[in-house]
Structure 1
Amino acid sequence: MPKPENHTSASDRRSAIVVGGGVIGTTTALALQRTGWTVTLVEAEDTPRAASWGNAGHIATEQAEPIASPAMVRGFAKRLFCRGGALALPPREIATWLPFSLRLLKAARPARYERSHQALAALLAQAMPAWQRHVAALGEPDLLRPDGHVVLWETPESAARGLANWQAADTGTTRFRSLTEAELHDWRARVRAPIAGGIRFEGSGQIADPTRLAETTTTRLLADGGTRLIARVAAVGDGEVHLTDHRPLSADQIIVTAGVASAALLRPFGLKVPIIAERGYHLQTGPDVDWPADLPPVVFEDRSMIVTRFAGGLRAASIVEFARAEAKPDPAKWNRLRHHIAALGLPIGEDAKPWMGARPTLPDYLPAIGKVPGTRGVSYAFGHNHLGLTLAPITGELVAAMVAGESTPVPTSPFELQRFR
């Protein structure tokens, strides 16, 4: 069917500049473009290295409960890296993580947590439908694999405890069931460690290939008339962006989607942005790996590690490290991953490529989505922590509706930065 003609002249079209080319920025740029905006996407680096492209590829619609919760506070000590867990608080970074941790504790108080829980659950309920619309619009429906995921436990005690925890949790639009004996047998044959139990989720999913997702979104942006600039942004103002190389940029709307760097760009507007770089680590093989391509992501919950098969290889990801984004990676984190990989007998060898990236995280583990008060056209969308990939398409739809002055699919008020006043 031919597309309807667009009788709006180029000079009449609204213009937008999106600052930040991670998955939130690129998806928001496409959402704006689809609704009639002329879009310029400004990205700091030509090769995407943000956490958007180094994550587990998991569409985590089951994580309807914010991480900043009373349960997290109660189990905090057990999760510490020094005790074998995945939570790292480097002593040299205490000036960074201590103030953030105190704010997190406040956000985890029952009344505030429940408000955050309701807001996040409402947003996640829209995540998978938004992803389905997004890949359909890209013309790449096979990028999304809505095939669920698996959680495994290695001891009877952890299996009983883990199953009870999931049964008590709000898993949003997903559902899960216990693995059959045949399924458990298959996993026991695939990994070296003993597998005592497991569950299979339905309603979650994964991205088949993060690299292809990044390339496809950029290609579509350019093909549909958008502009992509590789440049660094020094400041944002009403209707204008100031680049470090002094090139002038102006537009009707500016949307800041720059992850951790968003805080500095929004500070001149008087907004408080208590964000931290929550750093994650992964190791990945090349494409020729002995791991079936149709296996869903698998979480080895006792090890706080997720393993995902992509078109480009097998990836093992873990670690929550609170530190400055620019701090050097800690080789001990990759060594911990290698220890888990060896214990499980996964086909990820010493030649696997290491990666570290910073998730932009706010203390209540909700994203920041809203308009900057007192400006004619500055908005923001960042701080999605572990859920950037999951929430990217619905965030893009929210922003497109918000800047057009239309009603949004989900209320944005719980995600506005004014909550940190």
Structure 2
Amino acid sequence: MTANRRAIGIVGGGVVGLCCAVALLDRGHDVSVFEPDGDYNAASWGNAGHIAVEQVEPLASPAALRSVPARLFSAGGALALPPSMAARWLPFAARLIAASTPARFAAGTAALTPLLAGAMPAWRDLVETIGAPDLVRADGHVVIWDTAAQAQAGRRRWSRSAIGTARIVDAEPALLRRLGFLADPVGGAIRFTGSGQIVDLRRLATTLEAAVSARGGRIVREAARLTDDAGRTEIAGHDVDLVLVTAGVRSRALLEPLGYRVPMIAERGYHIRARADGWPADLPPLVFEDHAMIVTRYADCVQAASFVELGDPDAPPDPRKWARLEHHVRTLGLPIEGPFERWMGARPTLPDYLPAIGRSTRRANLAYAFGHQHLGLTLAPVTATLVAAMLAGNTPAVSLAPFDLDRFAKKGPRA
């Protein structure tokens, strides 16, 4: 291992970047993680905490396209297409439509299935490796509908969906009784088994950073600037042998000046948080499917999250999204009381809803792992394992061919 020791600069210290850092340090490399944000405001640390092994079907699908009118924010749904950001989402939408044919949807499902099959085992291995096994719970999650008719339709929809290693069972009566705090009786509910939850995202962030430091790695609190030097990618001001880009939605701005086409958009999500005083500590994540909202209990707070807002990651947030979340909390009768902490973050989404994981075909010392859309938290440890194998010159356990960034090189309108 020592003979192949390399200095690796990881650009982006979200959950994917930090998991990759741990995996590469454990293989004997020198690793520096470049992450300017020390306040943990990125999507990695503001998501629903859900290890979503059931989401093997990419959202680039015929069914998703058909559902767009009903899912629009203006119709009470979670999908927002702000007119002020149309220049961003219109080209992306064209690519999304092209990626949503039945054939490409089937290929995307086949590509995601083995990644998600490895997600929970990879998480269990990682938290054991970093000495924090209690960071992951494997209690599944619950999907709830308001009425019996909506529950029947939802059950039918899930029964026709590929859900990978997850399984669906009826929500047990004892669990339903514990939901007695809801303002109206539950119309129906199912429980997924096989999925999991991170119990505290902030502690996950600090524990991963501590694991990097304990292994001799460095967390560099600065924004990396990539340059091209005779066909090699360099990080300005730093001496590295290899560059790994894991910067989420910021990866596009890093790679496009080097000649790559990265048709990625910011899928902005919103959450509200409050103290967890009235929420049972052992309830698994609750998905209120009729409201497109997931509620998660963390160590000392409860979080309600929703929305897919396509646009500019740096545009001001839309307060109406937070107001709607607070409205859902009130009308459902959830035992969550303000004052609420409000957050907005940007998921990095490519139009086929597959991540970009691979090595550059133009620069031998450049690799990448980003664009995990809603699955960044879920797939971070398994991605790290695959990246470590790839950079060692070994054959990864899952083929990375479907995730090669060159799939966008000459296809369709520029997004």
TM-score (norm 2): 0.96
SS at match of 2:219: strand
Which of the residues 131, 134, 138 maps onto 1:142?
134
Name the residue aligned to 1:223: 214
Describe the superposition over 1:367-416 as per-residue Cα deviations: whole angstroms up to 9, x where unpaired.
00011112121000000010000000001111111111111010001001
| Equivalent residues of 2:212, 2:218 under 8 A apart | yes
What amino acid is aligned across from residue 235 of structure 2 in structure 1?
Answer: V
Describe the superposition over 1:237-275 as per-residue Cα deviations: whole angstroms up to 9, x where unpaired.
425202xxxxx1121211001111111211133221000
| Equivalent residues of 2:278, 2:336 under 8 A apart | no
1:119 maps to 2:107: no
Which of the residues 307, 313, 323 maps onto 1:335?
323
Matches of 1:273 and 1:116, distance apart in 2? 18
1:359 maps to 2:347: yes
1:284 maps to 2:273: yes
Describe the superposition over 1:301-351 as per-residue Cα deviations: whole angstroms up to 9, x where unpaired.
000000000003100000100010000000000001011000111122230
Describe the superposition over 1:201-252 as per-residue Cα deviations: whole angstroms up to 9, x where unpaired.
110010011011000000111111001111112224425202xxxxx11212
State the identity as a percent. 51
| Equivalent residues of 2:274, 2:338 under 8 A apart | no
SS at match of 1:272: coil
SS at match of 2:238: strand
1:241 maps to 2:241: no
Matches of 1:193 and 1:90, distance apart in 2? 33
Question: Structure 2: which 5+ residue stretches go unaligned?
Answer: 410-415
| Equivalent residues of 1:239, 1:250 under 8 A apart | no
What amino acid is aligned across from residue 340 of structure 2 in structure 1?
Answer: A
| Equivalent residues of 2:5, 2:30 under 8 A apart | yes
Name the residue aligned to 1:163: 155
How big is the shift at 1:148? Answer: 0.4
| Equivalent residues of 2:56, 2:113 under 8 A apart | yes
SS at match of 1:128: helix
How big is the shift at 1:193? Answer: 2.9
SS at match of 2:343: strand
What amino acid is aligned across from residue 29 of structure 1 in structure 2?
Answer: A
Name the residue aligned to 2:69: 77
**What is the root-mean-square deviation in Å for CA atoms of aligned residues?**
1.3
What amino acid is aligned across from residue 350 of structure 2 in structure 1?
Answer: L
Which of the residues 251, 268, 274 maps onto 1:262?
251
Name the residue aligned to 2:260: 271
| Equivalent residues of 1:59, 1:207 under 8 A apart | yes
Which of the residues 313, 337, 340 maps onto 1:349?
337
Name the residue aligned to 1:211: 202
SS at match of 2:277: coil
SS at match of 1:214: helix
Name the residue aligned to 1:194: 185
Matches of 1:124 and 1:362, distance apart in 2? 18
Which of the residues 226, 242, 251 maps onto 2:240?
251
What amino acid is aligned across from residue 100 of structure 1 in structure 2?
Answer: F
Name the residue aligned to 2:295: 307
Distance 1:366 1:279, change over 3 A: same
Matches of 1:112 and 1:174, distance apart in 2? 23
Name the residue aligned to 1:384: 372
How big is the shift at 1:97? Answer: 0.7
SS at match of 1:265: helix
Matches of 1:44 and 1:155, distance apart in 2? 46
What amino acid is aligned across from residue 72 of structure 1 in structure 2?
Answer: A
1:104 maps to 2:91: no
Name the residue aligned to 1:33: 25
Matches of 1:70 and 1:307, distance apart in 2? 28
Name the residue aligned to 2:57: 65
Give matches, 1:397-408, under 5 Å.
397-408=385-396
Matches of 1:326 and 1:269, distance apart in 2? 22
Number of equivalenced pairs: 406
Matches of 2:178 and 2:255, distance apart in 1? 51
SS at match of 1:337: helix
Which of the residues 11, 14, 22 maps onto 1:19?
11
Which of the residues 357, 372, 375 maps onto 2:363?
375
SS at match of 1:212: helix
Describe the superposition over 1:276-301 as per-residue Cα deviations: whole angstroms up to 9, x where unpaired.
00000000113x42111111001000
TM-score (norm 1): 0.94
Matches of 2:321 and 2:216, distance apart in 1? 42
Name the residue aligned to 1:245: none
| Equivalent residues of 1:402, 1:408 under 8 A apart | yes
| Equivalent residues of 2:15, 2:205 under 8 A apart | yes
What amino acid is aligned across from residue 149 of structure 2 in structure 1?
Answer: E
Name the residue aligned to 1:3: none
SS at match of 2:41: coil
| Equivalent residues of 1:184, 1:197 under 8 A apart | no
Matches of 2:127 and 2:177, distance apart in 1? 35
SS at match of 1:398: helix
| Equivalent residues of 1:253, 1:403 under 8 A apart | no
Describe the superposition over 1:134-169 as per-residue Cα deviations: whole angstroms up to 9, x where unpaired.
101011011010110000001111100000001000
